[in-house]
Amino acid sequence: MRQSELFIKTSHKAPSDEETEGAKLLVRGGFINKEAAGIYSYLPLGLRVLENITAIIREEMNSLGANELLMPVLHPKENWQTTGRWETLDILYKVEGHGGKWFALGPTHEEIIAPIAKKQISSYRDLPAYFYQIQTKFRNEPRAKSGILRGREFLMKDLYSFHTDEKDLEKFYAKALNAYKRIFKRLGIKALLTEASGGTFSKYSHEFQALSDIGEDEIFYCKACGFSQNKEIAKIREGACPKCGKGEIQKSNSIEVGNIFKLGTKYSSPFAVKYKTKSGEELEAVMGCYGIGISRIMGTLAEINRDNRGLLWPEKVAPFKLHLIELKKGLATKAYKSLQDKKDNILYDDRDTTAGEKFADSDLLGIPYRAVISQKTKGKIELKQRNSSKTKLVSINNVKKLL
Amino acid sequence: MRQSELFIKTSHKAPSDEETEGAKLLVRGGFINKEAAGIYSYLPLGLRVLENITAIIREEMNSLGANELLMPVLHPKENWQTTGRWETLDILYKVEGHGGKWFALGPTHEEIIAPIAKKQISSYRDLPAYFYQIQTKFRNEPRAKSGILRGREFLMKDLYSFHTDEKDLEKFYAKALNAYKRIFKRLGIKALLTEASGGTFSKYSHEFQALSDIGEDEIFYCKACGFSQNKEIAKIREGACPKCGKGEIQKSNSIEVGNIFKLGTKYSSPFAVKYKTKSGEELEAVMGCYGIGISRIMGTLAEINRDNRGLLWPEKVAPFKLHLIELKKGLATKAYKSLQDKKDNILYDDRDTTAGEKFADSDLLGIPYRAVISQKTKGKIELKQRNSSKTKLVSINNVKKLL
């Protein structure tokens, strides 16, 4: 893509209404635009990052055999009354429609998926069943801060599983846990598998926590073996790790980037999601749920991958793989055309501006590779990685191989 | 995909709470699930259709040089007060958040895109600029009916263009109009370009209207040349066509599947979206907006492409291209594995059920090609198009070529 056709500009000034460095860089780079506290637009570069993250998550969900669907934002009040959460969940946005009909803006979708599953499940032969979605969620947070890390409107992947019994849930839970590990590995996020209470949702849960000073969570963990507990439940807060005995328990702030819950029959029971066993007995299905905050992951990546000049996107989520910069108008057009492929991996800075501004913007945007063509490079390309200061002069074919 | 792993079943019974044939078939086929009047979940097959439609639209938007972004659902009240529409737009859902802050659930996004554009546009050099998004929209409709044709929550593509003057707008408007024509052609929808009033939005507009008895719009049109006017503005309601003089003006119900508006400075003015001309003069940008109802298109396709046995999806939007049916357990597994490619184009009915049920389901789902493998086909495949009664015995290589 030509940068002259991006329509969005970077900004030199940090926004005064963002607290964290990552959020400031996302705004300055033109990745996001703040519409209200906790509510953002994803501008073209930001949307590309969001979609790259989504693609990785979608692949792993499909590999679990889960089927994607899309449930609505507006949830009938009755569904939330069935579980009692209409009154108890304090972060619910409530909206009145025609005929005095009330809706919740979905903060999670157990109240919708359970009745859908009820219609589809009648026999043990219909189980297990796994559904997931990529959907915008809403939480009427008392205070929304840290940019897209804790939004009032945010993008999530949520997966729901239905099983004949807890043993089958356990089996899938272990598979989902491994899928989550793969996801965070692919995203370049070190996420500690952390034991936690279920909060509003369930008794037991696992969280994936990324270490970060600006995280709102606190965990006690062992560097040696990875044992980790959320402050909420952590009893061992210092000394030797109770798991490996080798490491020392340490405390850290962290960002919760994913969580998985065994729900049991908490939601299948009120919605009567039942199945007939082989012997004809009628039992309630056992449920699990598995969430990942997609926009929060984008925010987390911005917090943990940056320097004082700007962002450093991991290759797999970067809005573009290569930033092609020309230092004289039109000098890189031929190279751009020759390098371009269907994947649209190149941002071509064809703007009529100074080299200084181009380099500063390139560092700010954090595209993994920078390729400069100037009169000095004499038909070759000066290649540099964003996180390195070394440049080397390479041929266009070398760059092609890189892409 | 194996049908045994789809988790969603078809239903023999038509739902009692749907009026139109298309909506009944979408529910019976397990494409959608009604959550409330005008509010639906898109089940796996339905989501595939929605995504195929979206992919075509996205391609055409990108070909216009428009950049995709994603604006939020929650719009600050202040933005809607700026245009005066907080009070005047009666279909606005309004929701109160913490601190007494009110939001509208976006039914359209002029109130968000204009302030975004204001930040990016300062000089004539920044124009034209084109932004689009694929986003869920909300309308608090007094009565929601006809399934996903007129939803309270629905998926739309909206494009906004910003120009230095009306002449430049005209130029892009004509291009966008042609992109719309291409979109409907690719989707297999005969959409009449129809002159209409702008309603709440602007003085002049063009609608794309698909002829359908169950459409809520009424148009007066000429079969010979395609001249068409919405009832709202149509002065000529019978006799010779005023445009070609050959055809006769006819009346029809129709479904509005797209619309394009010249907005002028209606929104750039209240939000002060201004630019400096070459001579330093400060002028308001001129705007256009261009909408397509993605979920409505899915509903329209279901209405216009069906017979008494089920749906008939056009190839480009069908959830799968081929329905592979085995009439004895495991008989088609080898063929399925050999035909499968990355595009995941095949639904493989590997269920343990009767031939009659499999054929009835296949007709209901409306996948363009049906391939049957039975003991009778002796290593070959019995191929049939959904909209034909002719079958022919072909080799697996023939089927491969088809895909």
pLDDT in tens, B209-254: 999 999 999 999 999 999 999 999 999 999 999 999 999 999 999 9
Neighbours of A378 (CB within 10 A): 8
* Cα distance between residue A133 and residue A181, in whole Å: 19
Decide if A41 and B70 are in contact by the 8 Å CB cutoff.
Answer: yes
Q: Could you read off the pLDDT of B119-162 as tens digits, one per residue?
A: 999 999 999 999 999 999 999 999 887 899 999 999 999 999 99
| CA atoms of B288 and B163, how far apart (whole Å) | 8
Amino acid (one-letter) located at A8: I
Does an H or E element contain A361, and which?
Answer: helix A355-365
Site from B32, B42, B103 to mutate, A interface, most A CB atoms within 10 angstroms: B103
The string of pLDDT tens digits covering residues A262-271 is 999 999 999 9
> Smallest CA–CA separation between B77 and chain A, in Å?
10
Q: Do B73 and A41 touch (CB under 8 A)?
A: no
> What is the percent of chain B with per-residue pLDDT over 90, rounded to a whole number?
94
CB-based contact (8 Å) between A315 and chain B?
A: no
- Asked if A129 reaches chain B (Cβ–Cβ under 8 Å), the answer is yes
Give the span between the Cα atoms of A244 and B280, in whole angstroms. 71
DSSP string, A31-45: SEEEEETTEEEE-HH
CB contact under 8 A, B72 and A39: yes
Superfamily of domain B320-402: Anticodon-binding domain (3.40.50.800)
DSSP state, B87?
Answer: H
Q: How many CA atoms lie within 13 A of B201 on its CB side?
A: 22
Name which of B33, B67, B72 is nearest A41 (Cβ-Cβ). Answer: B72
Write out the two tokens for A336.
């751009």
In order, the DSSP letters of A57-117 are HHHHHHHTT-EE-B--SEEEHHHHHHTTHHHH-TT-EEEEEGGGEEEEEPSS-HHHHHHHH
In angstroms, the separation between the Cα of residue B395 and the nearest Cα of chain A is: 30
Please give the model's pTM, rounded to 2 decimal places: 0.97
Kindly determine whether residue B39 and residue A7, on different chains, have CB atoms separated by under 8 Å.
no
| CA separation for the pair A249, A233 (Å, rounded) | 14
pLDDT computed for residue A144 by the predictor:
84
B67 touching A (Cβ < 8 Å): yes
DSSP B39-80: EEEE-HHHHHHHHHHHHHHHHHHHHTTPEE-B--SEEEHHHH
- Residue count (chain B): 403
Q: Is CATH 3.30.930.10 the classification given to domain B9-307?
A: yes
Closest Cα partner for B154 from B132, B136, B140, B142?
B136
**Interface residue B32 vs chain A (CB under 8 A):** no
pLDDT of residue A201: 46
CB contact (8 A) between residue A93 and residue B95? yes
| For B137, nearest residue in chain A (alpha carbons) | A73
> Testing the interface with B: which of A34, A70, A160 to mutate, by most B Cβ within 10 A?
A70
Chain B partners of A40 at a C-beta cutoff of 8 Å?
72
Size of interface A-B (CB pairs under 8 A): 137
> What is the SS3 assignment for A3?
helix
Contact map slice: A 139-168 vs B, CB within 8 A: 140-143, 152-153
Q: CB A36 to CB B103 under 8 A?
A: yes
When scoring A40, A59, A69 by the number of chain B Cβ atoms within 10 A, the one with the most, hence best to mutate, is A69
Cβ of residue B15 closer than 8 Å to a chain A Cβ? no
Q: Which of A100, A19, A116 is nearest to A67 (CA)?
A: A116
A136 and B CB contact within 8 Å:
yes
- Closest-CA distance, A306 to chain B, in angstroms, reads 23
Rounded Cα–Cα distance for residues B48 and B8 (Å): 14
For residues A3-21, give the mean pLDDT.
Answer: 94
**A7 and chain B: CB distance < 8 Å anywhere?**
yes
Residue A199 — very low, low, confident or very high, per pLDDT cuts 50/70/90?
low
B74: which chain A residues are within 8 Å (Cβ-Cβ)?
35-36, 39, 138, 152-153
The answer to whether residue B387 neighbours chain A at the CB level (below 8 Å) is no
Strands (E), A223-278: 228-230, 249-264, 274-276
Look at residue B201 in the predicted model and tell me its pLDDT: 46
Query: Which of A44, A71, A76 is the closest to B69 by Cβ?
Result: A44
Q: What angle do CA A90, A107, A156 make, to 5 degrees?
A: 145
Select the residue of A5, A40, A98 nearest B140 (Cβ to Cβ): A98
User: Is domain A3-307 given the CATH code 3.40.50.2300 in the classification?
Assistant: no
Kindly tell me the burial class for residue B265, based on how many C-beta atoms sit within 10 Å of its own C-beta (0-12, 13-18, 19 or more): middle
Say if the Cβ atoms of B35 and A126 lie within 8 Å. no
Beta-bridged to residue B237, according to DSSP, are none
The mean per-residue pLDDT over the stretch A106-123 comes to 98
Spell out, as residue ranges, where chain B has pLDDT lower than 50: 200-201
Q: Which chain B residues contact residue A50 at CB under 8 A?
A: 70
The verdict on B47 touching A (C-beta cutoff 8 Å) is yes
The reply to whether B401 touches chain A by the CB within 8 Å rule is no
Q: Which of A79, A98, A116 sits opposite B33 (nearest CB)?
A: A116
Domain ranges of chain B: 9-307, 320-402
Report the gap between the CA of B198 and the closest CA in chain A (Å): 25
Residue in B98, B124, B155 to test binding to A, most A beta-carbons within 10 Å: B98
Residue of A nearest to B67 (CA): A44
Distance from CA of A228 to the nearest CA of B (A): 33
Residue A301's pLDDT is 98
Q: Is B7 on the interface with A (CB under 8 A)?
A: yes
